[in-house]
Amino acid sequence: MQDWAEVAIRTLMAVAILFLITKILGKRQVSQLSLFEYITGITIGNLAATIPMERESTWYLGLIALSVWVLTTLGIEYLQIKSKKIRDITDGRTTILIKDGKILEDNLRKERLTLDELMEQLRSKNVFKVSDVEFALMETSGEVNVLLTKDKQPVTLKDLNMQQLPEKEPTAVIMDGQLMEQQMAYMGITQQWLDAKLKEKSLTVKDVFFAQVDPQGELYIDQYSDNVQLNKVQDSNQTVLTLLEQCTTELQKLASGSSEQQRKQLYEQCSQSLKEAIQEMKPVNTSKS
């Protein structure tokens, strides 16, 4: 066999082996790699690169070294799952950098982190004042995570004593011109409903590159032709129902919290009117779904 053919075959074999190893070792982003995993990636890459270019007859020894390294890595990862001490040795521990708004200088020196680097990490979290930080720690990946003081944290619906209606994730119903039947069944969407929505835009399933339905019944359509404006078809009945239900909930809260009898009756009357409107709209919404 000629040298170029042998190198080509070995290269393809190395690519296949690397792909298999990556699948075995699992998914990780580069920023999430621990020190041991980072070293493992470099070593496996170097070992795989030597296999195609080794001209001697002992090139297969590279495969043996690669296999031993992978088995060792899998063994260590298994021990990490079973033992916290092993994880602390191989991955290290998180380090507290700021506590109660005060910078811990000893821990900065321990992590060889300068004050400039700490401030850069804080700015990446949109934090520009150390006094706004209640707690900050460095993860084993090197990333700094921050807990803001209570008065600097974003306001949530719970803080406002408001109830949030449950919401499901949007679901893709068409991809590459093919129906996603399993996802449609999960959302309770029928093909007849989808065909009717597409027909409103004079489209068929094969004309659509991507389509997605959100919990409010809004259909997003992206066609194969980039010159055609993106279409959105909204299920108006479901959207109006959701808004009316939210208004009804808020009116009931206002009525229960009001001390004035006249105002309380007004809130209750408005709430009852909305409930009647919701009941009248529900049959229409059901028939269209």
Checking if the pLDDT of 118 tops 90, the result is yes
Note whether residue 105 is domain-resident: yes
Q: What confidence score (pLDDT) does residue 30 get?
A: 54
Same domain, 71 and 103: no
Checking if the pLDDT of 127 tops 80, the result is yes
d(CA 175, CA 157): 35
Percent of the chain at pLDDT exceeding 70:
85
d(CA 36, CA 41): 9
The set of residues, in sequence order, having a beta carbon less than 8 Å from that of 73 and lying 6+ positions away, is: 25, 40
Where does a domain end: 68, 89, 110? 89
Same domain, 230 and 243: no
The CATH number of whichever domain residue 109 belongs to comes to 3.30.240.20
Q: What is the mean pLDDT of residues 135-143?
A: 88
| Domain around 112 | 95-152
Q: What confidence score (pLDDT) does residue 135 get?
A: 93
The pLDDT confidence band at residue 216, using thresholds 50, 70 and 90, is confident
CA-wise closest residue to 215 among 173, 174, 168: 168
Lowest model confidence (mean pLDDT) among 7-11, 122-126, 226-230, 243-247 = 226-230
CA-wise closest residue to 59 among 67, 50, 69: 50
Note whether residue 159 is domain-resident: no
CA-wise closest residue to 165 among 246, 228, 238: 246
Note whether residue 158 is domain-resident: no
* Number of independent structural domains in the chain: 4
Checking if the pLDDT of 32 tops 70, the result is no
- Tell me which of 12 and 227 has the higher pLDDT: 12
> pLDDT, tens digit, for every residue of 101-113?
899 999 999 999 9
Same domain, 15 and 84: yes
Instruction: Compute the mean pLDDT over every residue in the chain, rounded to the nearest whole number.
Output: 80
Where does a domain end: 204, 219, 234? 234
Same domain, 14 and 83: yes
Same domain, 12 and 84: yes
> pLDDT, tens digit, for every residue of 40-72?
778 888 887 777 777 666 777 777 888 888 888
Same domain, 24 and 85: yes
Note whether residue 161 is domain-resident: no
36, 102, 194, 271 from 137: Cα distances, Å: 21, 12, 49, 48
Note whether residue 208 is domain-resident: yes
Q: What confidence score (pLDDT) does residue 106 get?
A: 93
Checking if the pLDDT of 257 tops 50, the result is yes
> pLDDT, tens digit, for every residue of 185-212?
887 888 898 998 898 888 889 989 999 9
d(CA 214, CA 102): 45
Note whether residue 124 is domain-resident: yes
70, 250, 253, 261 from 256: Cα distances, Å: 65, 10, 5, 10
Note whether residue 9 is domain-resident: yes
d(CA 117, CA 138): 12
The pLDDT confidence band at residue 231, using thresholds 50, 70 and 90, is very low
Look-up of token digits 């999960």: 186
